[in-house]
Chains A and B, each alone.
Chain A
Amino acid sequence: MSLGPHLFLALLEGTVTALVLALTALGLSLVFGVMRIVNIAHGEFFMLGAVLAWWFGSLVGGSALVGFLVALLLGPLVVGAIAVASDWLILRRVDYDPESTIVATIGLLYIIQQIVLTFYGGDAKSVEAPVYFRVSFPWFGYSGYKLVVAGTSALLLIGTWIVISRTQMGLYMRATQQDEEMAQAYGVPVRRVYALVFGFGAALAAAAGVLVVPMQQAHYLMGLDPLLLSFIVVIIGGLGNLRGTLVAAFVIGITDGVISVFFSPTLAKILATLLVALVLVVRPGGLFGEEEA
């Protein structure tokens, strides 16, 4: 293949990555924006989604499509419920103090990871793709499932945007993000909003996890990569800035696709990580965030 098709492939891969990444990072960004906490366990919710996709798949048996649909529906719900429960049992009790929350979510990370290790095992397991077709371009064939993933992610992103901008719940979320005390004074049930946002953010990560399993296997340690990538995206996009998060997911996803096709993926990761850390040093609010005092 010559340069053109190579670049096209890189862009295609990048777009798929970007959409899944946007879904994961949006969850993290939402939690940070509304609750002002950093959730280190976010990647584990992604991993739980992936593992549940495998579990539902083997439970339903038969058609991979049914298993996939069940997983896509129930996976995020289950993970969301787990997140709400951990908000209730842990985060609320430390009053969302930033440092205690970080330590607590590191603890949560280990607890989830090790429970999955106990019941699911240490081996990576693969899940059959629910649909199998190839889209043939003049230069290469491309997995149709990846396009389905991109489409589903896009739909979920639009859905999230509708929830945030058009529903009462979304209004509550935005009010809490702007001024928690004022929101409470106007009758917004802030505590409940916190629990729901934490659950919602986890559910988004889980949905992303369900979607990627047929492309990469489910493994109990798979949560660290999406966590770090989400951090990168959320930082570049501005902590808590949802629109910035989406833009950044595309920038990172597509750059990652292009660099990984042409250079070493590890080098790409090192450079991206260093660059992002420097961004945060120079502009604490993120590239697209407002300048903080």
Chain B
Amino acid sequence: MNRRIFARVLALHLGVVALLLVAQFFLSPYHHTNLARIMIFATFASGYNILLGYTGLLSLGHAMFFAAGVYGAGLPVFYLGFGAPEAFATGVASSFALAIVFGLIVIRTGGVSFLIVTLMFAQAAFLATLYFNEITLGDQGIVISQTLPPLEVGGAVLEFSDPDVKYNAALLLFAVAFLVCMAIVYSPIGRVFVAIRENEARTRMLGYNTYKYKLASLTISATISGASGAMYALLFSYIGSTFASIEYSIFPLLWTLVGGMGTLLGPLLGTGLMFYLVDIASGLTESHLIVVGIALVALVLYFPKGLMGTIREKWLPWLP
């Protein structure tokens, strides 16, 4: 690849991270908290984007992985008194494990079947969080702020209720995920993902084991989603069945489509835009989720490439 273009790409994306880092000093407390949430959800969407945007597999079951992160991190904190780093690790590990087991089964299906199977498994997972009510406390959920000990880093004590800790932890997660996604997109593996998206049969004919690559894509995607779930549970100290509901499978799809699937910056922009649209709408009407519906239909009809996809097509063809 052209070195100058890569330098430009790197500068742009590091610039975005730097902008987010600086932004915290200028934002009002309200937007400050919002942006922390947006960065976590944008991480979720970035993970989702690896599967949908770069590999071309439409999943309707990512709530399952997000929830695996949420519960994988939250339950050990509540029951075993884990600290934040261990809990984050168990959260990521549970979504990783779930993705491998689930992936081995569902990658066999393609197209419409893949979508329905992911939807069904996610629904089974959602029902399971309700069924094991004694452990998960079902739909009322668990608040873990009482049991989560503050984090000590080099003498400094970090309380998770502190907005600055929230913001910077979210930013750290997002930045790492963002750079990991960039590394994947530019790596040989990422190239194979895109090849599968464009033409799976041809990729197989070239000698690639597409089953393995799709499994890898699903696992990476699910693990990033799980990491965002784990971080969400720790920072906002709530775990509950809502995170496994179908809503949390549809949201990352929406965020990715709004921002532009198959673009690195898309998930962040899409999440931010939709977050504020839904937020504004919820001030106006009880039926604020209609924004989600209208956005989905409008995207399909008028804006299939999303924000960054359109920008890339019209002005900046070098965007990853």
Q: Please tell me if A231 contacts chain B, counting CB pairs below 8 Å.
A: yes
Is the CB–CB distance between A281 and B112 below 8 Å?
no
List the A side residues contacting B304 at CB < 8 Å: 100
Q: Please tell me if A163 contacts chain B, counting CB pairs below 8 Å.
A: no
Q: Please tell me if A38 contacts chain B, counting CB pairs below 8 Å.
A: yes
Is the CB–CB distance between A270 and B300 below 8 Å?
no
Is the CB–CB distance between B105 and A269 below 8 Å?
no
Is the CB–CB distance between B289 and A106 below 8 Å?
no
Report whether over half of chain A's contact residues are helix, strand or loop; otherwise say mixed: helix
Residue of A102, A239, A278 with highest tally of chain B CB at under 10 A: A102
Q: Please tell me if B127 contacts chain A, counting CB pairs below 8 Å.
A: yes
List the B side residues contacting A231 at CB < 8 Å: 116, 119-120
Is the CB–CB distance between B115 and A38 below 8 Å?
yes
Name A residues whose Cβ lies closer than 8 Å to a Cβ of B. 38, 90, 93-94, 98-100, 102-104, 106-115, 117-118, 122, 224, 228, 231-232, 235, 239, 264, 266-267, 269-270, 273-274, 276-278, 280-281, 284
B295: nearest chain-A partner, CB-CB: A107
B131: nearest chain-A partner, CB-CB: A266
Q: Please tell me if B212 contacts chain A, counting CB pairs below 8 Å.
A: no
Compute how far the CA of A113 lies from the CA of B294 in the bound complex, rounded to whole angstroms.
Answer: 12
Is the CB–CB distance between B123 and A107 below 8 Å?
no
Task: Known A110-B292, A280-B117; judge A99-B287 contact (CB<8 A).
Answer: no
> Which among A90, A102, A224 is the interface contact of B246 at CB below 8 angstroms?
A224
A91: nearest chain-B partner, CB-CB: B300
> Which among B127, B288, B296 is the interface contact of A107 at CB below 8 angstroms?
B296
Compute how far the CA of A277 lies from the CA of B105 in the bound complex, rounded to whole angstroms.
Answer: 10
Contacting residues of chain B (155-209) with chain A, CB-CB under 8 angstroms? none
| Subset of 28 A-B contacts with CB under 8 Å | A90-B300, A90-B301, A94-B301, A98-B111, A99-B58, A102-B112, A107-B298, A109-B293, A110-B292, A110-B294, A111-B293, A114-B287, A114-B289, A115-B287, A122-B286, A224-B246, A228-B120, A269-B127, A270-B127, A274-B120, A274-B121, A277-B116, A277-B121, A277-B124, A278-B105, A280-B117, A281-B113, A281-B117
Compute how far the CA of A226 lies from the CA of B119 in the bound complex, rounded to whole angstroms.
Answer: 14
Is the CB–CB distance between B130 and A266 below 8 Å?
yes
Compute how far the CA of A112 lies from the CA of B294 in the bound complex, rounded to whole angstroms.
Answer: 10
Name B residues whose Cβ lies closer than 8 Å to a Cβ of A. 58, 105-106, 108-109, 111-113, 115-117, 119-121, 123-124, 127-128, 130-131, 246, 250, 253, 257, 285-290, 292-301, 304
List the B side residues contacting A270 at CB < 8 Å: 124, 127-128, 131
> Which among B109, B116, B287, B301 is the interface contact of A117 at CB below 8 angstroms?
B287
List the A side residues contacting B120 at CB < 8 Å: 228, 231-232, 273-274, 276-277, 280
State the Cβ distance, A193 to closest chain B Cβ, in Å. 20
List the A side residues contacting B293 at CB < 8 Å: 106-114
Compute how far the CA of A232 lies from the CA of B124 in the bound complex, rounded to whole angstroms.
Answer: 12
Compute how far the CA of A122 lies from the CA of B289 in the bound complex, rounded to whole angstroms.
Answer: 13
Report whether over half of chain B's contact residues are helix, strand or loop; otherwise say mixed: helix
List the A side residues contacting B250 at CB < 8 Å: 106
Compute how far the CA of A277 lies from the CA of B297 in the bound complex, rounded to whole angstroms.
Answer: 28
Is the CB–CB distance between B113 and A280 below 8 Å?
yes
Is the CB–CB distance between B297 and A111 below 8 Å?
yes
List the B side residues contacting A107 at CB < 8 Å: 292-300
Other A-B pairs, 18, CB within 8 Å; known A103-B299, A109-B293, A122-B286: A90-B300, A93-B301, A94-B301, A100-B304, A102-B58, A102-B115, A103-B296, A107-B294, A107-B295, A108-B293, A110-B292, A113-B293, A224-B246, A231-B116, A231-B120, A273-B124, A280-B109, A280-B117
B110: nearest chain-A partner, CB-CB: A284
A32: nearest chain-B partner, CB-CB: B112
Is the CB–CB distance between B116 and A38 below 8 Å?
yes
Is the CB–CB distance between B289 and A281 below 8 Å?
no
State the Cβ distance, B176 to closest chain A Cβ, in Å. 29
Is the CB–CB distance between A274 and B246 below 8 Å?
no
Sorted nearest first, the 8 A-B pairs with minimum C-beta distance are: A110-B293, A107-B296, A114-B290, A111-B293, A107-B297, A114-B287, A277-B120, A273-B124
Is the CB–CB distance between A277 and B117 below 8 Å?
yes
A220: nearest chain-B partner, CB-CB: B287
A286: nearest chain-B partner, CB-CB: B113
State the Cβ distance, B30 to closest chain A Cβ, in Å. 25
List the B side residues contacting A269 at CB < 8 Å: 124, 127
Is the CB–CB distance between A264 and B301 below 8 Å?
no
Is the CB–CB distance between B289 and A110 below 8 Å?
yes
List the B side residues contacting A93 at CB < 8 Å: 301
B285: nearest chain-A partner, CB-CB: A118
Compute how far the CA of A114 lies from the CA of B288 in the bound complex, rounded to whole angstroms.
Answer: 7
Compute how far the CA of A281 lies from the CA of B121 in the bound complex, rounded to whole angstroms.
Answer: 12
Is the CB–CB distance between A284 and B296 below 8 Å?
no
Compute how far the CA of A114 lies from the CA of B281 in the bound complex, rounded to whole angstroms.
Answer: 12
Compute how far the CA of A239 lies from the CA of B111 in the bound complex, rounded to whole angstroms.
Answer: 13
State the Cβ distance, A270 to closest chain B Cβ, in Å. 5
List the B side residues contacting A100 at CB < 8 Å: 300, 304
Compute how far the CA of A113 lies from the CA of B131 in the bound complex, rounded to whole angstroms.
Answer: 26
Is the CB–CB distance between B296 and A104 below 8 Å?
yes
List the A side residues contacting B287 at CB < 8 Å: 114-115, 117-118
List the B side residues contacting A106 at CB < 8 Å: 250, 253, 293, 296
List the B side residues contacting A112 at CB < 8 Å: 293
List the A side residues contacting B300 at CB < 8 Å: 90, 94, 100, 103-104, 107
List the A side residues contacting B108 at CB < 8 Å: 281
State the Cβ distance, A40 to closest chain B Cβ, in Å. 8
Is the CB–CB distance between A108 and B297 below 8 Å?
yes
Is the CB–CB distance between B131 and A267 below 8 Å?
yes
State the Cβ distance, A108 to closest chain B Cβ, in Å. 7
State the Cβ distance, B281 to closest chain A Cβ, in Å. 10
